[in-house]
Structure 1
């Protein structure tokens, strides 16, 4: 498995089509497979948090096809938990710091597999830990994110020590929770 990371501009410096491939992969996963109703062009998943300073992690299989991705955002600028899901903090203050980054859009779903298939745990583990390392390289001491309870359990099975930032809540039919990971505790 091969990983690349960087901003959209940096990803495209490796290969001109990397960011387009990433947006297409995200569309296939989040819109086509998971059925999220997102206001995004056909075949291209992008939202207001995909900015010039957004950092992406892309994994590719042996054939060079994208098989996973994640997105990192510093919390001193707009980010998903802060803008879309602040209620998950249960009246606690939202993280807002250059050393707290948010992880979002982390997935390793196989776009060619049948609906309902589960991600490969090996790919998920490698991508999750690579994402944490990239966050740390960018100055993060903690990462935060929104997750379903199923994903929270998966992270714990992967050995990630997640801390809840609030009580789980049902939003759009999903039990969601805000999580935090201390990178010093996790990565040493």
Structure 2
């Protein structure tokens, strides 16, 4: 299992297709999220935030292909009034499309989170805001991940999700994962793209 760090604009087309298929299986088919018709590609999931310069973390193995992902991008203040912003906009990033297959590795969400906070800190960011499920909150608590709930409305999320703020300083994760490196797509993937049989695994 390796963690790939890349941006949309740098992904080989085959990796981009695999990411879209993975996201579809998790968020559209699994969670039942709707896909806007103008963004619809059969069997793939994308949204309006898939800009060329956002950073992606992908958990990838030769056996499973993509089995986890997280998207990091600057957070934008909501366009409606009445929401109290408890931080400076320039000090936070948003992490979205955070997903990991626990059947592949029970620690995969923590591994992805560690790399997300590392990238954020290296870019001068103080904390990440993200959506979380009760199951993810329980996992964070059991592994001493520091986080705090946020006022509803700070980020757009589905009904079963709520917003949390995750400081980039994470002593428990640092003790466990410090030194773990990230890879570029070229370092990890077979020549000319990803594994040729990824469609057979869906």
Highest RCO, 1 vs 2 (Cα 8 Å, sep ≥ 6): 2
Deviations 1:50-109 (A, max 9, x none): 11221100011242611110100111x47xxx46xx79xx73127563331011111113
Instruction: Please say if residues 98 and 139 of structure 1, whose CA atoms lie closer than 8 Å, have aligned partners that are also in contact.
Output: no
Unpaired runs of 5+ residues, structure 2, are 175-202
Instruction: Please say if residues 4 and 11 of structure 1, whose CA atoms lie closer than 8 Å, have aligned partners that are also in contact.
Output: no
Q: How many pairs does the alignment contain?
A: 167
Tell whether 2:82 aligns with 1:93: no
Instruction: Please say if residues 163 and 179 of structure 1, whose CA atoms lie closer than 8 Å, have aligned partners that are also in contact.
Output: yes
How far 1:178 moved relative to its partner? Answer: 1.4
- TM-score normalised to the size of structure 2? 0.70
Among 103, 115, 120, the residue aligned to 2:95: 103
- For the aligned residues, what is the CA RMSD? 2.9
Larger radius of gyration: 2
How far 1:42 moved relative to its partner? Answer: 2.0
For 2:89, what is the secondary structure of its paired residue?
Answer: coil
Residue 116 of structure 2 is matched in structure 1 by: 131
For 1:184, what is the secondary structure of its paired residue?
Answer: coil
Residue 19 of structure 1 is matched in structure 2 by: 16
Residue 5 of structure 1 is matched in structure 2 by: 5
Instruction: Please say if residues 60 and 68 of structure 1, whose CA atoms lie closer than 8 Å, have aligned partners that are also in contact.
Output: yes
Residue 167 of structure 2 is matched in structure 1 by: 182
How far 1:41 moved relative to its partner? Answer: 2.5
Distance 1:172 1:143 in 2: 18
Tell whether 2:143 aligns with 1:158: yes
Deviations 1:99-148 (A, max 9, x none): 310111111137xxxxxxx6732222212212222222333211011222
With over 3 angstroms needed to count, the CA separation of the structure-2 counterparts of 1:185 and 1:29, relative to structure 1, is closer
Unpaired runs of 5+ residues, structure 1, are 111-117
Residue 59 of structure 1 is matched in structure 2 by: 59
Instruction: Please say if residues 54 and 73 of structure 1, whose CA atoms lie closer than 8 Å, have aligned partners that are also in contact.
Output: yes
How far 1:167 moved relative to its partner? Answer: 6.2
With over 3 angstroms needed to count, the CA separation of the structure-2 counterparts of 1:172 and 1:72, relative to structure 1, is closer
Distance 1:93 1:119 in 2: 37
With over 3 angstroms needed to count, the CA separation of the structure-2 counterparts of 1:139 and 1:24, relative to structure 1, is farther
Instruction: Please say if residues 71 and 104 of structure 1, whose CA atoms lie closer than 8 Å, have aligned partners that are also in contact.
Output: yes
